[in-house]
């Protein structure tokens, strides 16, 4: 269980991250309707199957998994002095909560550094980015609201091989991606997106491409970072009405997106080399709002 499945399927209300367990990928999906964390087996060529959920965490929201797949950190919306960061032992069967901490207030997005030492959390209540020490779940520093101008913060992702992170935002007529220097923990540059509310971000394993989904649009966008800031859209999608979480496989070949088509939630597969739609898979109905 030493391989990280780099799926970060996050939505405004849910999160999923996956890791390898034996010959089967296992995902962690948080469901805010039931306040449960579902381990889900993901076997190639088969429909995903949920297992016994992890209970005891109210108002569940984001989740992130360490690169060695030994632990996960789950957040919720409880304000201090209630506990709102939870560490899960992924080596245990069943998965168990091992420690808790009063950390972020109202976290909506997590990202963990490539060396597993720091976690970046987007805090919606104060519109800041908090930097957390993973080993102790304690606050290291805060990137203040003033560094992001008039935009509201909505999502974030970290580069796997460059000392920078990407913070998505929402605005009145447009939105921006702010690039932070993870050595100094300050904003160093930004660029504008065509829609007004970015929802989730994902970076390819080589750090060259950034993918974006939106709250106000079913579009899937991407930026080739070493070629500038031109925003392109994936074409050929079968008329989705919503796009939520997005994630990229460890080999960088495939992007997955949670989308609604008609009245059904599906997992959409996109080929990254060609930026083209491939197929879709049904999402289990036991997950009410993926």
Tens digits of pLDDT across the chain (290 residues): 222 222 333 322 233 444 444 445 667 777 767 777 777 666 656 665 666 677 777 777 778 888 877 888 888 766 655 667 888 888 887 787 888 877 666 667 889 999 999 999 888 766 899 999 888 888 899 999 999 988 999 999 999 999 999 999 998 888 999 999 999 999 999 999 988 888 889 999 999 999 999 887 888 999 999 888 899 999 888 888 888 788 888 889 999 988 888 888 888 999 999 999 999 888 776 565 65
* pLDDT at residue number 221: 93
* HEC string for 128-162: EEEEEECCCCEEEEEECHHHHCCCEEEEEEECCCC
The C-alpha atoms of residue 195 and residue 115 are separated, in whole angstroms, by: 33
* pLDDT at residue number 267: 87
* pLDDT at residue number 45: 61
Q: Scanning the structure block, which residue is given the tokens 């999906």?
A: 29
Q: Which CATH class is domain 144-282?
A: mainly beta
3-class SS of residue 194: coil
* pLDDT at residue number 255: 92
Q: Are 178 and 155 in contact (CB under 8 A)?
A: no
Closest listed residue to residue 129, CA positions, set 115, 116, 111 = 111
- Residue 192 tokens, joined: 């504008």
CA terminus-to-terminus distance, the chain: 25
> Any idea what DSSP says for residue 235?
B
* pLDDT at residue number 64: 83
pTM to 2 decimal places: 0.80
Q: Are 129 and 153 in contact (CB under 8 A)?
A: yes
Kindly list the strands in the beta sheet with 71-76, ordered across the sheet, starting from the edge strand earlier in the chain. Answer: 60-65, 71-76, 85-89, 96-101
Cβ-based burial of 260 (10 A; exposed 0-12, middle 13-18, buried ≥19): middle
* pLDDT at residue number 207: 95
* pLDDT at residue number 28: 74
List CB contacts of 9: < 8 A, sequence separation 6 or more. Answer: 15, 16, 17, 18, 27, 29, 244, 245, 246, 247, 256, 258, 290
Q: Are 129 and 123 in contact (CB under 8 A)?
A: yes
**Domain residue ranges in the chain:** 1-104, 144-282
* pLDDT at residue number 94: 79
Q: 253-274 pLDDT, tens per residue? A: 999 988 888 888 888 999 999 9
């Amino acid at each position: 269980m030493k391989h990280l499945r780099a799926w970060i399927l996050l939505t405004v209300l849910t999160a999923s991250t996956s890791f390898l367990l034996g010959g089967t990928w296992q995902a962690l999906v948080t469901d805010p309707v039931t306040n449960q964390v579902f381990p889900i087996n993901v076997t190639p060529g088969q429909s995903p199957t949920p297992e016994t959920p992890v209970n005891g965490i109210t108002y569940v929201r984001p989740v992130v998994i360490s690169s060695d797949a030994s632990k996960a950190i789950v957040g919720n919306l409880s304000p201090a002095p209630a506990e709102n960061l939870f560490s899960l032992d992924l080596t245990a069967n069943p998965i168990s909560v091992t420690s808790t901490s009063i950390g972020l207030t109202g976290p909506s997005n997590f990202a963990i550094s490539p060396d597993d030492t720091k976690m970046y959390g987007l805090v919606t209540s104060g519109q800041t980015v908090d930097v957390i020490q993973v080993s102790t779940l304690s606050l290291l520093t805060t990137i203040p609201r003033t560094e992001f101008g008039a935009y509201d913060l909505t999502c974030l992702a970290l580069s796997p091989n460059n000392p920078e992170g990407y913070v998505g935002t929402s605005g009145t007529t447009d939105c921006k991606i702010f690039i932070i220097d993870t050595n100094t923990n300050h904003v160093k540059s930004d660029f504008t997106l065509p829609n007004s509310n970015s929802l989730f971000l994902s970076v390819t394993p080589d750090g060259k491409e950034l993918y974006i989904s939106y709250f106000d649009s079913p579009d899937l966008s991407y930026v080739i970072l070493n070629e500038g800031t031109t925003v392109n859209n994936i074409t050929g999608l079968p008329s989705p009405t919503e796009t939520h979480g997005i994630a990229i496989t460890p080999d960088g070949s495939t992007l997955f997106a949670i989308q609604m088509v008609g009245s059904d939630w599906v997992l959409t597969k996109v080929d990254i080399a060609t930026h083209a739609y491939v197929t879709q898979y049904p999402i289990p109905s036991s997950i009410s709002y993926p």
